[in-house]
Structure 1
Amino acid sequence: MYPTVSRQPKRQYYLSLALLGCLFFIFGLVSWVNSILVPYFKVACELTSGVQTYLVTFAFYIAYLVMTVPASYLLRRVGYKRGTLIGLWIMAAGALLFWPAALTRTYGMFLTALFTIGTALAILQSVANPFVTIIGPHESAAKRISVMGICNKFAGIIAPLLFAALVIRPEDRQIMQMAESGLLTGSALETALDEMIRGVIVPYVSLAALLFLFGILFYRSPIRDINPDRDNQTSAGNDADRRSVWQYPYLVLGVAALFAHLGSQQISVSTIIGYAQSMGMSLDAAQVFPSYTLACILVGYLSGVILIPRRITQQQSLVICTILGLLLSVLVLVLPEKASIWSLVLLGIPNSLIYAGIWPLAIRGLGRFTSIGSSLLVMALCGNAVLSLLYGVMTDHMSLQASYWLLLPCFAYMVFYALYGYRIEKW
């Protein structure tokens, strides 16, 4: 398991938590805005299929699969603090790419920008998650992760609303409605969409400047650098005879559980605006649903901070949340549409503590394989990309509500891991 950095002064400990909280806030701000980028780009870039539309999510999260292992090598070479600086500056570069993408209204360039931001997050998640686990006692790791989750999901609550307020002006909403209804065509449509899409330039350029400055602040802060590989190089983990990280079944099964969790959570948040619009709601009315979902997640995180480990253990909370998630997924499918959307919103409550429950159970006792194990868990964030795109494919062939059956196998597997999979020590 990770060593803890518990001997540091309290002031430094709380400063570390505060800056890590800022990192998780940034993660939420740039990640959860995708839920409104999906319908926004659908109109602005004239996308015609579900697959095209959900390439926004795919391009963003597939970077975790492609770039996490290179990120782990980068962190070994430059250290965690310098790695954080590099990650934030790469994210700033991705935000700046929105400028030329908007000027040319090129969907491929927007996807490149989102992949660049995802690459930065692959580096930053590889730093932040181990740091949160290491910085205090292992038995309260889920509690600290819950605190970080509050920062992340609070950003997620305001991100769609902030984007809508800063980018989608009243005239833009009118353009979107006219474009979707076919009232705007030809050169008039092209001119209107060109003007609309340029609304992203100022917010994303401003974000790039803030990321650049925060990178410098974090690097120059008194936070103690960490190096799990160095600290664990003499430890073989639970068993000295294991020669590969793949010989830890509970880790491998945990990676799959995290993949299923993150993908299903992304589906419940990023698709809910389209689901609401399919019932006849306007974008103004539909855009608040991701914030409702993330508010439920925030409630779940607050309960985790209060209850773990004082009232229930990490594993017990994982069992409760996965079973509740499975039941709500069934309700999404069987209830009438206007009721089922609220089951989708309520999925935020069990989704809140699943990540915090899986991570400590999967990463425990890995010894010198801790760093690569952490990288594998971070790679599981590509579940956001794969399952969202799969949902997009399904919506091209069946109703939006029927496509949510994809949630059932995800939650069923998470129930298996919570009850049994985490205890498997040998294949």
Structure 2
Amino acid sequence: MTIIGVLFFIFGFLTWLNGSLIPFLKAICDLNEFEALFVTFVFYIAYTVMALPMSFVIEKIGYKNSMALGLAIMAVGSLLFIPAAQRESFTLFLLALFALGSGLTILQTASNPYIVCIGPIESAAMRISIMGLINKGAGVIAPLLFTAFILSGIGSLEDLSAESKEELASKLIVPYIVMALLLSSLIALVKFSKLPELEFEKDEAGEQKKSIFAFPRVVLGAAALFFYVGIEVIAGDTIGLYGQHLGLTNVTSLTSYVMSFMVLGYALGVLLIPKYLSQERALIGSALFGVLFLFGVVASSQSHGISEILWGWSGIRTLPNTVAFVALLGFANALVWPTIWPLALEGLGKYTAQGSALLIMAIAGGAILPLLFGKISHVSGDMQSTYLMGIICYLFILLYALKWHKIKSWDEM
């Protein structure tokens, strides 16, 4: 569990660093909102492109060796940030992000089944919630470190001179060299660990099925994850752009607010599931909270109020009401990933690697939906109302929680 926890920390740190990179690259590469969100598109589309091939790699070389391979690919991706920063090339930045996403794909495909399968299926969401605490804890730290080390002394990313852009870009080099070294050192940790290989009994339900697509709960679970990851990334990665749109300062740290609420949600999952709250009910509640908070984003003002109640007492800077509701989406999103995974993977047996790959491919929602969000926002000029597109995401998740996760045959649809 310790090694898997370290990997989940890496997932969170690199994934939620994107929320800071988006406004940063928008400034130094002279991008509009739509172009800047190609950061999320390229990073998350790697999951769709690479997940299924990586599942066959896992079946060939095993789960543990695949994790080591994923770390190696990520180390290469980190090193690609060096020429990208030197040339201030958005294309090279995207290539580096695709490499990081590819490495994370094999890590996620291999590691998530461990958490589901090492104990009773009824408490899998609780175990994933523990990993989520680590993952989103890293998501809180990453934007703060980025702001502290990269943007120290710079209050705004607007109207930068050519010299300032060059200086800012060069600040990325050392952190990503350090990141590559850390990832490389973890390869040996995983490779020579006592982490057992996963083995599945031959007589589990569904062994006679010829394809992973014959399991409706997996296919529909992947679709639900597509919408979930889409709205999760919209919340975490657009809050900085939204703050920039409203004229806030230090917008690269705003993702930390979303992650903080996710940490709170995961903590409740650890405490409540399965003793007081079933996985199904947790998923239903998540979807309903999501819809509620989306209406809060759109209906609330750009003045301060709710944010003063939430954290103004603690000395942390307050946020406009509408931005505070975007941050609260982190709470609604927290338990969706932990609950869908065990509901979707139950009883897959030898198809577990392929089922995991299919669920990982659904992370493409983080590529497509934020890009769609950026396009609608750019064309309409109303970023606040654009958040309403997330209602579709939560309604699909709600249907999966209420009925679709129970379907064993497509004839039951």
Shift of 1:287: 3.2
TM-score between the two structures when normalised by the length of structure 1: 0.89
| Aligned equivalent of 1:82 | 65
Shift of 1:249: 1.4
| Aligned equivalent of 1:267 | 234
Deviations 1:95-143 (A, max 9, x none): 0001111111111001000000000000000111011111222111111
Deviates more, 1:361-370 or 1:303-312: 361-370
Quote the Cα distance in structure 2 between the aligned partners of 1:178 and 1:108: 22
Does 2:13 correspond to 1:29?
Answer: yes
Give the aligned CA root-mean-square deviation in angstroms. 1.4
SS of the residue corresponding to residue 158 of structure 2 reads helix
- What letter is aligned with 2:23? P
| Structure 2 portions without partners, runs of 5+ | 303-319
Shift of 1:225: 2.3
Quote the Cα distance in structure 2 between the aligned partners of 1:113 and 1:326: 35
Does 2:142 correspond to 1:196?
Answer: no
- What letter is aligned with 2:20? I
Quote the Cα distance in structure 2 between the aligned partners of 1:88 and 1:146: 23
| Aligned equivalent of 2:326 | 344
Query: Does the C-alpha gap of structure 1 residues 332 and 151 become closer, same or farther in structure 2, counting only changes over 3 Å?
Result: same
| Aligned equivalent of 2:52 | 69
Identity of aligned residues (%): 38
Shift of 1:50: 2.3
Tell me the number of residue pairs that the alignment of Structure 1 and Structure 2 aligns. Answer: 392
Taking the TM superposition and a 5 Å limit, the aligned residue runs for 1:104-253 are: 104-170=87-153, 172-173=154-155, 176-179=157-160, 189-226=161-198, 228=199, 231-232=200-201, 234-235=202-203, 237-239=204-206, 242-253=209-220
Taking the TM superposition and a 5 Å limit, the aligned residue runs for 1:382-393 are: 382-393=364-375
- What letter is aligned with 2:186? F
| Structure 1 portions without partners, runs of 5+ | 1-16, 180-188
Taking the TM superposition and a 5 Å limit, the aligned residue runs for 1:295-374 are: 295-337=260-302, 338-374=320-356
Quote the Cα distance in structure 2 between the aligned partners of 1:383 and 1:169: 33
- What letter is aligned with 2:245? S
Shift of 1:250: 1.6
Shift of 1:240: 5.5
- What letter is aligned with 1:20? I
Quote the Cα distance in structure 1 between the aligned partners of 2:211 and 2:106: 23
Quote the Cα distance in structure 1 between the aligned partners of 2:350 and 2:193: 28
Does 2:362 correspond to 1:380?
Answer: yes
Quote the Cα distance in structure 1 between the aligned partners of 2:330 and 2:58: 32
The answer to whether the 8 Å contact 2:258/2:328 transfers is: yes
TM-score between the two structures when normalised by the length of structure 2: 0.92
Deviates more, 1:134-143 or 1:26-35: 134-143
Quote the Cα distance in structure 1 between the aligned partners of 2:46 and 2:34: 18
Quote the Cα distance in structure 1 between the aligned partners of 2:122 and 2:264: 22
The answer to whether the 8 Å contact 2:143/2:254 transfers is: no
The answer to whether the 8 Å contact 2:297/2:387 transfers is: yes
| Aligned equivalent of 1:19 | 3
Quote the Cα distance in structure 2 between the aligned partners of 1:320 and 1:88: 35
- What letter is aligned with 2:402? L
The answer to whether the 8 Å contact 2:126/2:269 transfers is: yes
Query: Which residue of 18, 24, 38 maps to 1:40?
Result: 24
The answer to whether the 8 Å contact 2:55/2:109 transfers is: yes
Query: Does the C-alpha gap of structure 1 residues 240 and 131 become closer, same or farther in structure 2, counting only changes over 3 Å?
Result: closer
